A and B are shown apart, each in its own frame.
Chain A
């Protein structure tokens, strides 16, 4: 049976056991004269208890088996291979196991090598056994769980408390996924980065000024030597982010000021959602717009006044990214400006200040920490933005701060290094994870700093 089939059967069994458990609890109860019964919990809770016993252990086994069976079967198949195929490097072994899997998928008859054919047959035999064993195992555990659950149905069983405890643990597990995700991110970028820094010294990566990740695949190949100095990428990322922030911060901040201090409620009700549409547009759309409309426009403008502008200029990507961040900046600043107490404004008006003087000299200084927090979050967004730069910025790593030239960014390089089929162990692929680590660390610091500033500031006025 397929995994989906087993899952559906299990679901049906669980539902069935709920009804049986519920019925059973009513049968074992003694009715009192006043129409009640002597059960500790409502009958439904006994049903849930049996359903939990039936469903959860079987589900755990199903998930574990589906997750692990493939690698175990591969190991077992590889163990049966002839000795000369076994004693090879890790890459070769993973290549062989992929070949075996392809053979099984495409029909074993297509095999040329008799040893591979035997292995493929072995693999598919083990697969059949595993699939059958999984079905039997899951169903047996489900039925055994059902039987165990049924034994608990007594008037004295505290079924509600037990079911509620299961619910509670499930909720804790769900909440803990946030931790698991962070751990997963840290582990995935850290481990691969450590391997990368084993091949390329960290100082070369952090302070080198030449980036050309093409490594020779064969020893005799003429090609890139593979130098991994990430400074041009960092500079490129900062350049594009700076252009974006130069657009987004003034426009976003002024929009927020106007909307919260000047605009009529009617205007606010329509302009605010309209600005938020900008935030809802997928970044791939911005990228398309930047690459096909804004970049040629800027290039033609440059040509008209005699400037030589690259067709993938940092300016085009930066401007479009800036527009993307405007609503982000404006809604964050809007929140902090609204949090400034009205009494401070009234005090300023009472002294005879005009509205703009009040804003500039009272409201903004009071809101400054929040605005700085918003700025940091916007910066983190700009640094981590991917699609716009992948589509509109260049690929070649130029070390320049001229916005009219093409630069590349950290995210662009991660995408270029990891799309397409590459072996997982080359320095080129691992470099992407090192870049990912740098990106993660920088954005994490910005986020923590921003959240800290915003929280501290909020406490001040609450």
Chain B
């Protein structure tokens, strides 16, 4: 009898081992699929975004002719500011490719360079009016279509009608290339400007400053509120009290409420009832504070809980009051854990955009916001706005902005890991 059971088991063994192997393989496959997706996403973003950190410039020989400009070196700065720089640029561009007569081609020639080029000249001349009358060689920003061509996104062999760069423009660009008049340089515009309708002039500075304002305020509100609430709930709150239990239920539920609901709260309460300024970092930080408070409270409570009771008892034993024992001994020991939780909450807030769409932080912001009540937008929302733009050059800039955003998040998360590793204490 026993032999038959052994035989039975033995007969099934190879099948069972095969099943075991298969099961194990499923696990490995799941992990590799997830990681593969991560790699794919990163590769996709980086390969699209890295070119945006350079942009194409064209070398122009311009004559700062007093007659064309309509000013003299003696003119006032106001007159200098409104002089006809665009005419100078036009003349400079026409010198690049002499003999263009066709109206359409002339227009295309003019739009080789960005509309921004004239302001470069303006800055030069306002800074040094003596330049008027001289010949200058300047590198000016190329139009985004030219930029895209230089970066290899336009297929020369495609039918002409499918290209944004036409055949005659290709001839010009080859000529410029041969004369070393076209070059890719580091894209400073991207870091020093606000949003723009022209991709080559669009930058992330205004969104970045909006993010900085919003996040600083969020930290300022969320950290003290969250830590105080956690200390109360963990150290002082009476057990089995209805009010305290109700608070805990609320915190646990708020942690899982969809973020967009917080946006509705901001819109209905902060904007409609309290009449706070729409689109401002102030109100954005209020919404984000409420959103990340549960994260901070839950993490801080865990950190406080991990401090052993002996610390509290020792403090009480030498005559400290309850408040003193908590604030002088328990909280400092729990601080690394509390800070880790706060950083994780902040990293969540930095990437959040849905609730901010609700409170109008989705505006087209060119100027860098100067205060916490100015209309502003933030980096993730800027990404959302650019992602909607049809121009190829905006796709590239969106990816570049994502790289910046990811850099922020990774830095914050690394900081949290380092803090945890450095100061974590096993009791």
Query: Chain A: residues with CB nearer than 8 A to chain B?
Result: 67, 70-71, 160, 164, 167-168, 170-172, 174-179, 181-182, 184-185, 187-189, 191-192, 250-255, 257-259, 262, 271, 273-275, 277-278, 280-289, 291-293, 323, 326-327, 330, 352, 354-357, 359-360, 377, 380-381, 383-387, 390-391, 411, 414-415, 418-419, 424, 432-433, 436, 439-440, 443-444, 447-448, 450-451
A451 touches B252 (CB 8 A): yes
Residues in B neighbouring A433, C-beta threshold 8 A: 264, 268
Tell me, rounded to whole Å, the shortest Cβ–Cβ distance linking A34 to chain B: 17
B354 touches A258 (CB 8 A): no
A175 touches B229 (CB 8 A): yes
Tell me, rounded to whole Å, the shortest Cβ–Cβ distance linking B252 to chain A: 6
Is B120 among interface residues, defined by CB-CB distance under 8 A?
no
Is B105 among interface residues, defined by CB-CB distance under 8 A?
no
A419 touches B357 (CB 8 A): yes
Please, how many angstroms separate the alpha-carbon atoms of A137 and B355 in the complex? 36
Residues of chain B in range 8-41 having any CB-CB distance to chain A below 8 Å: 9, 16-17, 19-20, 23-24, 26-31, 33-35, 37-38, 41
Chain B residue with the shortest CB-CB distance to A356: B23
Is B69 among interface residues, defined by CB-CB distance under 8 A?
no
B259 touches A254 (CB 8 A): no
Please, how many angstroms separate the alpha-carbon atoms of A293 and B293 in the complex? 34
A386 touches B354 (CB 8 A): yes
B16 touches A357 (CB 8 A): yes
Is B314 among interface residues, defined by CB-CB distance under 8 A?
no
Please, how many angstroms separate the alpha-carbon atoms of A189 and B266 in the complex? 11
B34 touches A278 (CB 8 A): yes
B236 touches A168 (CB 8 A): yes
Q: If A188-B269, A387-B384 touch, does A177 touch B225 (CB 8 Å cutoff)? A: yes
Tell me, rounded to whole Å, the shortest Cβ–Cβ distance linking B319 to chain A: 12
Please, how many angstroms separate the alpha-carbon atoms of A447 and B250 in the complex? 11
Please, how many angstroms separate the alpha-carbon atoms of A139 and B159 in the complex? 75
Interface residues on B, range: 35 or more
Residues in A neighbouring B90, C-beta threshold 8 A: none
A67 touches B268 (CB 8 A): no
Give the segment of B72-80, B138-146, B398-406 that binds chain A. B398-406
Chain A residue with the shortest CB-CB distance to B289: A177
B354 touches A424 (CB 8 A): no
B260 touches A447 (CB 8 A): no
B265 touches A185 (CB 8 A): yes
Chain B residue with the shortest CB-CB distance to A429: B267
- One digit per residue, 1 when the CB lies within 8 angstroms of any chain A CB and 0 when it does not, for chain B 280-317 equals 00000000001001100100000000000000000000
Residues in A neighbouring B229, C-beta threshold 8 A: 171, 174-175, 177-178
Can you list 17 pairs linking A and B with CB atoms under 8 Å apart? A164-B322, A171-B232, A177-B293, A185-B265, A187-B268, A188-B267, A254-B30, A255-B31, A255-B34, A274-B38, A281-B351, A282-B351, A289-B44, A292-B395, A327-B34, A419-B358, A447-B253
Q: If A176-B247, A436-B261 touch, does A356 touch B19 (CB 8 Å cutoff)? A: yes
Please, how many angstroms separate the alpha-carbon atoms of A177 and B275 in the complex? 20
B253 touches A182 (CB 8 A): yes
Residues in A neighbouring B293, C-beta threshold 8 A: 177-178, 181
Please, how many angstroms separate the alpha-carbon atoms of A284 and B232 in the complex? 35
Please, how many angstroms separate the alpha-carbon atoms of A175 and B248 in the complex? 9
A391 touches B406 (CB 8 A): no
Chain A residue with the shortest CB-CB distance to B255: A447
Please, how many angstroms separate the alpha-carbon atoms of A387 and B30 in the complex? 25
Tell me, rounded to whole Å, the shortest Cβ–Cβ distance linking A11 to chain B: 13
A386 touches B258 (CB 8 A): yes
Please, how many angstroms separate the alpha-carbon atoms of A182 and B33 in the complex? 39
Is B272 among interface residues, defined by CB-CB distance under 8 A?
yes
Please, how many angstroms separate the alpha-carbon atoms of A281 and B261 in the complex? 20
A275 touches B30 (CB 8 A): no
Please, how many angstroms separate the alpha-carbon atoms of A436 and B257 in the complex? 11
A444 touches B35 (CB 8 A): no
B253 touches A448 (CB 8 A): yes
Please, how many angstroms separate the alpha-carbon atoms of A32 and B417 in the complex? 52
Is B246 among interface residues, defined by CB-CB distance under 8 A?
yes
Please, how many angstroms separate the alpha-carbon atoms of A288 and B399 in the complex? 9
B409 touches A282 (CB 8 A): yes
A257 touches B27 (CB 8 A): yes
Is B126 among interface residues, defined by CB-CB distance under 8 A?
no
Known: A174-B232, A275-B38. 10 other contacts (CB 8 A): A171-B229, A175-B237, A191-B268, A262-B27, A280-B413, A330-B34, A381-B258, A386-B260, A436-B264, A443-B258
